Structure formats: C-alpha cells, structure tokens
Structure 1
Amino acid sequence: MSLYPKFSFNITHRSAVSGARAGLLKTPHGTIETPAFIFCATKGAIKGAFPREMKAAGTQIILSNTYHMMLQPGSELVEKMGGLHKFIGWDGPMLTDSGGYQIFSLGHGSVASEIKGKRVTHRPKTMLKITEEGARFKSYINGQIFLLTPERSLEIQRQLGADLIVVLDECTPFHVDKSYTECSMHLSHRWALRSLAEFQRGNDGRQALYGIIQGGIYEDLRRQGAEFVNHHPFFGHAVGGSLGASKEQMHDIVGLTLKMLDPERPVHLLGIGGISDIFNGVEQGIDTFDCVHPTRLARHGGALVTADHWMRYEGKGGEHINLRNKIYREDSRPIDESCGCHSCQNFSRAYLHHLLKAQEMLALQALTIHNVYFMNELLKNIREAIRTDTLDIQKKKWAGV
C-alpha cells in the first residue's frame, strides 16, 4: 500500500528545450498547479495580508515554520485548536519545514547572506550544540533550552497538520571545508532515516514527506545526496544546503542536482525567490519555490516589477522599485499600469510613498498584496509558457535575460 494514498504528482507537459515541466500536485487540501511559489507564513501568518486576500491574489499554497511554531504558541496548542489550517483560517494546501534551516541560521547566518557575499551576522547565536541526537538551542523568546530531534520535528509537523512536511537536516554553510560538509551530509542522512521511520510509524495518509538533498558545492557529495533520496520512499525532494557563493554557482549546483534526481517526484527549491533564480530553477526542473523575499521586500517599501517595466519606465534593469524614494512623491501612476492587483487598481505611487513616509500600516499591506499578486502572475505565466514552449519570451519580459 502506498505511503501517500491521498497525494499524487502528475507531469502534464515537459519542455522540448529545457528541463522545465508543468504538473499537478494533488494534496488533501487541494491541487497545486506547478511550477508554484509558496509564501511564508512563518509564525502562522502572512505579514500584511489576510488569508482571503492571499486567495484573491491567486495564492495556491503557503508554509509555516516548525521551529517558530514549536516555540510559540506550541504545536500541542495548534493541534488542540484543530491544526494549522483551522487555527490560521487557511483551507488550501500547506507545507511546514523541519526547523533545520533555523539550526543553520542560528549558528551561521542565512543562505541569502551567503549568496550575496555577506558572511557576518550580528544576531545572537542561540544554537548550543548539534549532536547525533539532534540540535540543542535556546529559545529566542525566553531562553528556554530545547532539543530538536528528527523524531520531535516529525511529531511537531504531525501536530501542526500541514499537507507537505520535511525531514530534519543540518543545513551546512558555504564557508566550511569539504570534510565538514560530508560529515554533515551523512548526519542529515541518518536524521532523514529517523524522520522517515517516525513518519511511517504515525502515518495516517494525510501528510507527504520530502527528503532533502545536501552536499554543498561538491558534485560527488550532491550525487551521494541525490542517490540517498532516490532510494528511499520520500514523496518529493527538496534541494537544500549551501548552494554556493554566487548566483552563478547556485544555478550550477541546482542544475547538477536536478540531473541526478528521480524525474517523477516533485522537487522543491528551499529558500530561493528571486525572479531570475526562479526562471533558472524552472528550466532545470524545479516544481515549487519558497522565500520570504516578496513579503519582506514589501515591508521595506519595495514593489516587484518586471524587467520589461523597468526598461520602459526606469531606463535600467532590476526586480523592484523602492517607493520610499523621493522620485515617487508626485508620481500619479500605479506601481504597474498592467497589474490587476487591488493596490495597482486603487493607489498611486505618490499615495504609497506618502503612506510609507507616514509609517502607515496600509502601505505595507498594499505592497504585500501587490508583491503576492505579482509572484502568482509570474508563476502563472511560467506555467503557460511551459505548455506553449515560450519560456524564453516570458523570461525576457520578467527577468530581462
């Protein structure tokens, strides 16, 4: 009997010129058209938007974070309240990550910082120790000591009740040597087997488990990581770990990894959400992406725009405009005349600039809705382009390359 009776992944179209594919990922809470973007409701909420607004903007799936929900309000409470879907008022598909990324970021800094070449973080290090048993750390809320093991991560994710869940892993940083990366990968494999055993012990058919491919920037280690997940009964695969010191190296590592994976399983790229990065990932065969970038950018005054828009109106390349800048103080245009989101249909750049300067919450809500709508339109256009073999046209329009 299948481990995943209520799940399926069917590829409906494969590109003739790249690894891109369009598909349907069926879950108990709905079917996701892929490629798709997963928005981060890290602590059980999308910052700046109601669930109904996320739906209205075309969102198919969101995620919450095991680490943060464990610390507050606690997975036991969420389970008592009927699970994440009922607790937060979202009736569509959901994913929870394992907490492994937080183990990494608490010890070293973020993946985004690595790719941007930033190695120093001034956040307090709350991770205490990683051992065979799991990761021991202090709560950033009250200093309480926690131990996150593979079994506990799966138990928390079961209590939260998301459709798609992930094994616990150690996400190794870029600036360690190959020896450390290899030891870390093998530790993650042992943790993954424990995660899988715990999943099978409590599996009731309502969740599907993803395995993670580690191995840093090393081809032979990535090959071992791919072989490991291919040979175990995970529903899907997630490409994780350090992806290099630059976007170019990241693209190379993603492409290398995808060539080694079982082509019939869905593949998720963890924590990547730049427009050009999404096109590259899609061309390599990535089916889903997640990143805080669209909503975080909105909270800093940034509105996503296409490269085509940039060239027509700003005269230079980029992926967003910063509405805090004084050039928008008397700009009566919407963010994008061609955008169908509520913000572009109702607000001018001048008004949004004013709201930002006045520190009005509406500015962050309006920009969040725009960025969410933008990302959903981007992926909708990508799906259609795969079906019509016109991905290059859309790539030039959205990413300028």
Structure 2
Amino acid sequence: MNSLYPRFSFQTQYQDKFSKAKVATLVTPHGAVTTPNFIFCATKAAIKGLTPAQMKEAGTEIILSNTYHLMLQPGGKRVERRGGLHRFMGWDGPMLTDSGGFQIFSLGHGSVANEIKGKRLTHRQKTLLKISEEGAVFKSYLDGALHTLTPESSIEIQRQLGADLIVVLDECTPFHVDKSYTEKSMHLTHRWGLRSLEEFKRTNSGQQAIYGIVQGGVYPDLRKIAAAFVNSHPFFGIAVGGSLGATKEQMAEVVNSVMNEISPQRPVHLLGIGGISDIFNGVREGIDTFDCVHPTRLARHGGALVRPDFWLKNDGSGGEHISLKGSRFKDDDLPIDESCPCSTCKTFSRAYLHHLIKAQELLVYQALTIHNVTFMNRLMRAIRTAIIENRLEEEQKNWMQV
C-alpha cells in the first residue's frame, strides 16, 4: 500500500489504556495533522466568514471542500488551471474533498435529517434523476443542466481540485429505506469503490491518498461486510458514512459495530458528525477525524459554543451553545468565555455581540465563527492531551454535561 502513497503516512503515538482512543500523526504533502482532529467545511472553497489566515490563527490544521458544488461552480478544470484548491483559495495546509455522492443523493431524495423528521421533497425539488451501475444522473441546482457523476469522473474532478485526501464515490442511502435496498446499495458502493480505486491508481502522481467508505446503514451485519471490504483493498484511509440512525444511542451502536471491524492501522474519518458528545464517543471508538458544518453554521445563526461552566456560572443548565440573540445578553459585559484565547473573546462582550445581531451587522457572524472554530480546535487539543494522560473520561466533564 505504501507505494501508492509515497508522501503520506499515519502513525499512532499514544494509545489510551481504557478505550480505542489514540493520538496519531497523519502526514500529507501539505503538512501534518495530529489526530483526533476536526475538519472544517470550506464547502465552496471558502470557510464562510473567515480567511485562511484567520483559520490558521484559530488553530486549524485541516479543512475540506465539496466536490459536488465545485464541479458545478467554477468547475474542476478551472480550479486545476489555477493550481488546484490550495493555490486557488490561499490555503497551504492539508485538505480533503468528498466524492460528491452525499450531495447528489441528499439533495436528490432528501437528507437523513429530513427523513427522521418525516419530511419529503416534492417531485419538482428532487434533482437526482437516475442511479445505475454507471453512476448518478442529476440536475444542477444552479441552472438545471444534466450531469452524470461516475466513480471515474469523481476521481478525475478530485484530481483536478488537488486535495491531499480524496474519497471514493458512494451511494448515500436515505434513512427510510429498508435493509434489502441498503444491502443492494452497499454492494453498488463497493463496485463503485473498486472502480474509483482503479481510476486513482491509473492517474496516481503520489500527491493524493484515497479513502474507501463503509456503508450499510443501521445494520451491523452489513456494516461488518462493508468494513471487511475496505480492509481488504489498498485504500489509504477509511470513511464511515451513510445513515447512522435516528438517535445518538443508535449512532453510538453503529459506530461501535464498524470500529470493531476496522483495521486500526489506517486513519478513520466519521463523515458529517460534529456534536461534542458524538466526538467524545467517536474518539473512544478510535475515530481519528470528524467533519461537520455545525460550528460555522451555528455562528451564522447567532450561536456560540460554550462549555458546561457557562451554565454553572449562570445558575442554569443547557446545551452545547448559547444564542446571543437572547435579550438576557443585552447588558452582559462578559466575553462569551473568559478562558477562551480567541480574538472575539479578547475583544467583544456578549452585550456588543447581541447588539450586532440586532443591528444586523455582518461583523458578528465573523466574530462568532472565530470563536466557534477556536472552540472546536481547543476541544480537540484537550482531547489529545487527555488521551496521552489517560484521563479522557475526566476531560469530557470539562466540555459537556454528563
């Protein structure tokens, strides 16, 4: 496998004594990532509200961009002509791109969240037209033009985009489908995975590494089959995708069933998960990286991530974030978090941030994004230190109410 990835490596430095959690180093041509780590979503080749320099200042090591959106605008060839994503957007650190499959299927027949909430897209809203052995035919959400994404074209586009880490094309099934469909989809994903891998080998320059993907929905026996598939082929890393269930408890069961089967010598990425409790659970199961739009999206809705001591100091209990839209903050002169080193907490009060929201000033969305990105990076650093010191359970109490 190493001959496929001459400029990549993954090495465990510390193994937790009480779980599968570990601290490792993932080396790429654009630098190293210490894991466990969080990958922030620069969906359209930009972190919404922040520059690459601000992301670096907040402690970010790795980001991702989205193949589906970038193939439609501005197009893989155009990005390639401008030196790839790193040069195009001014980010010089490690990057990951997904295959584009998730967006095709989630926009095509509704997201997992919509399925859980019982929502359905109308016929006019659906963009996925056909799934076949060849690939997926869909309509662009921008102009309605028809496109076909195959395993080969997904790899070609990701090659043009130039991210360090890329992912095979898979079918991401909706939550409501039965086991029979999930099994057929999983086997289709495996055939697409092999085609993706062959295309990767055919055009491999040593500058990228490919992840296989584990599907199988909420069914442990299917997840076991999918894990055996990725274990038996020379993928550099493994991504855990698809429906993880309707509850956090079911998600924990699915992740556990997968991680019991996966080779620990490869980096494992959990797709689309960013809740604090989910991160701690995933880390204990051996997950190395996570991604989610939650920290940056929350900021655009006036939300700031906080630790449990916020609620202790304010005589109450609550979740993982506060909404600075609330009138309770209009005369609050404290920063979001007095212990946070971010420029927002060093500069602005809760009252000022509340005012900016009410005044609809764009500055607040940048300020809250800086805080939330810093929060996630502080969380991951604290988790890594706790693993090294064998006190992960104790550290969890500093970040969530348990």
TM-score by length of 2: 0.98
Q: Cα gap change, 1:139/1:314 in structure 2, threshold over 3 Å: closer, same or farther?
A: farther
Query: Is 1:307–1:397's contact at 8 Å kept on the other side of the alignment?
Result: yes
Query: Is 1:303–1:322's contact at 8 Å kept on the other side of the alignment?
Result: yes
The aligned amino acid for 1:96 is T
Equivalent residue number for residue 250 of structure 2: 249
Query: Is 1:239–1:270's contact at 8 Å kept on the other side of the alignment?
Result: yes
SS state at 1:180 partner: helix
Equivalent residue number for residue 99 of structure 2: 98
Deviations 1:353-373 (A, max 9, x none): 111111111000000000000
Question: Aligned partners of 1:251, 1:9: CA distance in 2, in Å?
Answer: 25
SS state at 1:399 partner: coil
Equivalent residue number for residue 118 of structure 1: 117
The aligned amino acid for 1:82 is G
The aligned amino acid for 2:168 is V
Please, which moves more after superposition, 219-228 or 306-315?
A: 306-315
Equivalent residue number for residue 45 of structure 1: 46
Give the paired residue count: 399
SS state at 2:370 partner: helix
Equivalent residue number for residue 226 of structure 2: 225
The aligned amino acid for 1:89 is G
The aligned amino acid for 2:92 is D
What displacement does 1:219 show?
1.0
SS state at 2:26 partner: strand
What displacement does 1:317 show?
2.7
Query: Is 1:271–1:291's contact at 8 Å kept on the other side of the alignment?
Result: yes
Query: Is 2:109–2:128's contact at 8 Å kept on the other side of the alignment?
Result: no
Question: Aligned partners of 1:184, 1:162: CA distance in 2, in Å?
Answer: 27
Deviations 1:116-168 (A, max 9, x none): x3231558211111111111111111111000100000000000000000000
| Percentage of pairs with the same residue | 67
1:133 is aligned to 2:134: yes
What displacement does 1:111 show?
3.4
The aligned amino acid for 1:118 is K
Equivalent residue number for residue 386 of structure 2: 385
Equivalent residue number for residue 18 of structure 1: 19
Alignment of 1:234-273 (within 5 A): 234-273=235-274
1:156 is aligned to 2:133: no
The aligned amino acid for 2:118 is R
What displacement does 1:338 show?
0.8
Equivalent residue number for residue 363 of structure 2: 362
Equivalent residue number for residue 348 of structure 2: 347
Question: Aligned partners of 2:286, 2:54: CA distance in 1, in Å?
Answer: 30
Equivalent residue number for residue 374 of structure 2: 373
Backbone CA RMSD of aligned residues: 1.1
Q: Cα gap change, 1:172/1:122 in structure 2, threshold over 3 Å: closer, same or farther?
A: closer
Please, which moves more after superposition, 227-236 or 127-136?
A: 127-136
Equivalent residue number for residue 180 of structure 2: 179
Query: Is 1:302–1:320's contact at 8 Å kept on the other side of the alignment?
Result: yes
Q: Cα gap change, 1:222/1:211 in structure 2, threshold over 3 Å: closer, same or farther?
A: same
What displacement does 1:289 show?
0.2
Query: Is 1:308–1:396's contact at 8 Å kept on the other side of the alignment?
Result: no
Question: Aligned partners of 1:86, 1:121: CA distance in 2, in Å?
Answer: 40
TM-score by length of 1: 0.98
1:396 is aligned to 2:393: no
Question: Aligned partners of 1:118, 1:248: CA distance in 2, in Å?
Answer: 17
Query: Is 2:104–2:127's contact at 8 Å kept on the other side of the alignment?
Result: no
SS state at 1:60 partner: coil
1:289 is aligned to 2:287: no
What displacement does 1:107 show?
2.4
Question: Aligned partners of 1:24, 1:16: CA distance in 2, in Å?
Answer: 19
What displacement does 1:394 show?
1.2
Query: Is 1:27–1:93's contact at 8 Å kept on the other side of the alignment?
Result: yes
Q: Cα gap change, 1:80/1:130 in structure 2, threshold over 3 Å: closer, same or farther?
A: same
The aligned amino acid for 2:333 is S
1:71 is aligned to 2:48: no
What displacement does 1:320 show?
0.2
Query: Is 1:76–1:159's contact at 8 Å kept on the other side of the alignment?
Result: yes
The aligned amino acid for 2:140 is S
What displacement does 1:310 show?
2.3
Query: Is 1:7–1:28's contact at 8 Å kept on the other side of the alignment?
Result: yes
SS state at 1:13 partner: strand
Query: Is 2:296–2:369's contact at 8 Å kept on the other side of the alignment?
Result: yes
Question: Aligned partners of 2:182, 2:315: CA distance in 1, in Å?
Answer: 43
SS state at 2:399 partner: helix
Equivalent residue number for residue 107 of structure 1: 108
1:2 is aligned to 2:6: no
What displacement does 1:308 show?
2.9
Q: Cα gap change, 1:42/1:330 in structure 2, threshold over 3 Å: closer, same or farther?
A: same
The aligned amino acid for 1:29 is H
Query: Is 2:335–2:348's contact at 8 Å kept on the other side of the alignment?
Result: yes
Question: Aligned partners of 2:24, 2:120: CA distance in 1, in Å?
Answer: 39
What displacement does 1:95 show?
0.2
Equivalent residue number for residue 212 of structure 1: 213
What displacement does 1:314 show?
4.9
Equivalent residue number for residue 83 of structure 1: 84
Query: Is 2:35–2:288's contact at 8 Å kept on the other side of the alignment?
Result: yes
Question: Aligned partners of 2:192, 2:308: CA distance in 1, in Å?
Answer: 42
Gap regions ≥5 residues in structure 2: none
The aligned amino acid for 1:148 is L
Gap regions ≥5 residues in structure 1: none
What displacement does 1:66 show?
0.3
The aligned amino acid for 2:160 is Q
Question: Aligned partners of 1:378, 1:206: CA distance in 2, in Å?
Answer: 30
Equivalent residue number for residue 197 of structure 2: 196
